[in-house]
A and B are shown apart, each in its own frame.
Chain A
C-alpha cells in the first residue's frame, strides 16, 4: 500500500504563529486527504487533493499537492487555540493509510 512520512511529529507554537506540516511519499499518489483529530476525539475530514500542483484554501488553512504528486503540505496562518490537535495526511480513496500525524500544541 501507499506509505507516507509526515514531519514534524510534534510542533509547539505560540498562538498567532504559523504552522506547517509536510507529507512525503516515495511513490506518486493518486490523491491525498487531510484529517484533523482533536485530543480525545476522532478524525474529521478536512480536504482532498487530486491534481498536480493543486492549492486549496479553507480560511487560515492552505493545502498543497506537489507537482510530482509525491508530497503535500498543510499550512495554518496565525494559529488559534482551536487549531490544537493532530493533523494526518492519508493517501487513498475509501481505504486510507494514515501518516504518523503531526501533533500541534499552542501556547495561548
Chain B
C-alpha cells in the first residue's frame, strides 16, 4: 500500500516558539493532503485541506494564522504551529490519497508537547 511519512514523530517545544511538521507521500504524488489533530482518547478532528500550489482550506474554528500550511510540492505538505501554547499539545496526523482508490493513507503522526 501507499506510504505516508511524518517528521518529527515527537517534538517538545517551549511556549511561544513555532514548530514545523512535515508530511510526505513516499511512493505517490498527492495534490491534496489533509491535516488532523487528535487529543488523547478522542477522535480525529479535521483541521485543513492542504492543496498543492494553492492556499489551504481550513475547517471552521481553525485559525489559519496559527496553523500555517504549505504544500509546495506533490509529495510534501508542512504544518507549522506558530507561537505554540500548551493547549496546542496534541497528536497531529496527516493523510493523503494516491488517487487510485478511495481510502486515505495516514502518516504515523507527530506528538507535539508544548511546555
Contacts and interface: CB of A to CB of B under 8 A. Distances in A.
Interface string B70-110: 00000000000000000000000101010000111111110
A3 to B, nearest CB: 11
Contacts of A94: 32, 34, 97, 102, 104
A42 interface: yes
A45 B32 contact: no
Contact of A42 (B42, B49, B97, B108): B108
Contacts of B105: 45
Interface range for B: 20 to 34
Contacts of B106: 42-44
Contacts of A98: 36, 43-46
Nearest to B105: A45
A51 to B, nearest CB: 14
A42 B102 CA distance: 17
Main secondary structure on chain A at its contact with chain B? loop
Nearest to B109: A42
A91 to B, nearest CB: 12
Interface in A33-65: 33, 41-45, 48
Interface stretch (A18-26, A76-84, A99-107): A99-107
A68 interface: no
Interface in A68-100: 88, 93-100
Given A42-B107, A97-B46, A48 B102 contact: yes
Nearest to A43: B106
Interface of B: 32, 34, 36, 41-46, 49, 93, 95, 97, 102-109
Of all A-B residue pairs in the complex, the 8 with the closest CB atoms, nearest first, are A45-B103, A42-B106, A98-B44, A98-B43, A43-B106, A100-B43, A101-B43, A42-B109
